[in-house]
Structures are given as structure tokens and as C-alpha cells.
Amino acid sequence: MPKKSEAKRRRIKEVALRVFAEKGFAKARISEIARQAGVADGTIYLYYKSKDDLLIRIFEEEMDGIIPQVRERVAKGRSAREKLSSFIDAHFEIVESRPDLATVLEIELRQSNTFVRNHLKQKFKEYLDIIAEIVLEGQQRGEIRPDISPSVAKQAVFGALDDISQNWLVLQPRKVKLSEFAPDVKKILLDGLCLHPAT
């Protein structure tokens, strides 16, 4: 794609992300996205088939960047506890630094139709599997309790992070940084999963 066209596509995506976050996916209109992006309505359809397609592409492109970024970060941990701690920090930092993106990924996607949600399951699974892999490796190394299912653990850890992040996005005045919740979250989750206490 020529640089000019790629820049326009990227601008449309950035504006759409903001509009979806501000108005909600259901109420967002292609015409409003086009107006704020400074393009004609028809121009958007040169890059995206529909509003659903735009949401799907935003999710896929963002997750394609987030997943390897988080994997690289947790790989630096020497133990399962350190890796899970890094995952928690990374998740909160992404939400805190990009609230529009987080609002779309954590809230608006749940309001979308069945077609969109089904299309996105694989990327969500890849993200949650980072947790499951850490837990399984930790069990093999005698660091994580053997009586806990990695599949259940990944849902429990992500569920806690997701709920806290949503509350911060929707309810908190954001005077408190999301990262300030991390120490307590780690005590609750990691002390429950790990065989050895934090040192």
C-alpha cells in the first residue's frame, strides 16, 4: 500500500478507535468517523468493508502488537512468580497508557454482535494462553501449585485484571493510577498460585 494510502488508513483507524470509545460501538456512525478523519464516507469503505470489519481489524492489529510485546516482557522473568507479576504490570500499563484502546477492547467488544465476538476468540485465547503457559511451566518447575488447572488459572487471573481495569475505565475518576492496584492484586493472585512466598 502506498505511504499516503497507509497514512490515511491509519488515521481512519485511530479516529474510529476514539469514536468507538467515546460514543460506544453501537452508537458510532461511519459518517462521524469519516468527518473526524477528514475523508468522505466512501473513502472508509475503500479500506474497511463495514463498521464490524473496522472493529475486527482494530482488534487484530492491536493484539498483533500487544501479544508479542507482553510475551517478550514476561520472558525476562526468572520464575513463574516474576513472569506472572510482569504480565499483571504489562496489562495494567497498556490499559492505563491507552484508555481509548482499552475501552474498545475490554468494554465495547462485549457489546458487539455474535459474528464479531466469534471472530475475535482466537486472539483472546492467544493472550490468555500466555498466563496458562507460565502456570504450566511453573508447575513443571515446582513453583506453582500442582492442583490448579492452567486453564482455570488463566481465566481467574485475566478475569481479575479485566474487572479491575473495567472499573477503573468506567467508574474511577482516574486520579488513582491503575498501576497502584498491582501490589494488592499480586498478593491475592500470586500467593494463591505459587508454592513459595515472595522474597
- Assign residue 149 a region (left: φ > 0; alpha: ψ between -120 and 50; beta: otherwise): beta
Cα 52 to Cα 104, 137, 159: the distances in Å are: 13, 37, 25
- Write down the pLDDT at residue 173: 61
pLDDT tens series, the chain, 199 aa? 566 788 899 999 999 999 999 999 989 999 999 999 999 999 999 999 999 899 989 999 999 999 999 999 999 999 999 999 999 999 999 999 999 999 998 888 877 676 667 777 888 999 999 999 999 999 999 999 999 999 999 999 999 999 999 999 988 666 789 999 999 999 999 999 998 766 5
Which DSSP string do the residues of 19-48 spell out, in sequence order?
Answer: HHHHH-TTT--HHHHHHHHTS-HHHHHHH-
In the chain the domains, ranked by start, together with CATH numbers, are 1-48 (1.10.10.60), 52-193 (1.10.357.10)
Instruction: Please report the pLDDT score of residue 161 as a whole number.
Output: 97
Angle between helices 114-140 and 80-97 (to 10 degrees): 150
Name beta bridge partners: 194. 144
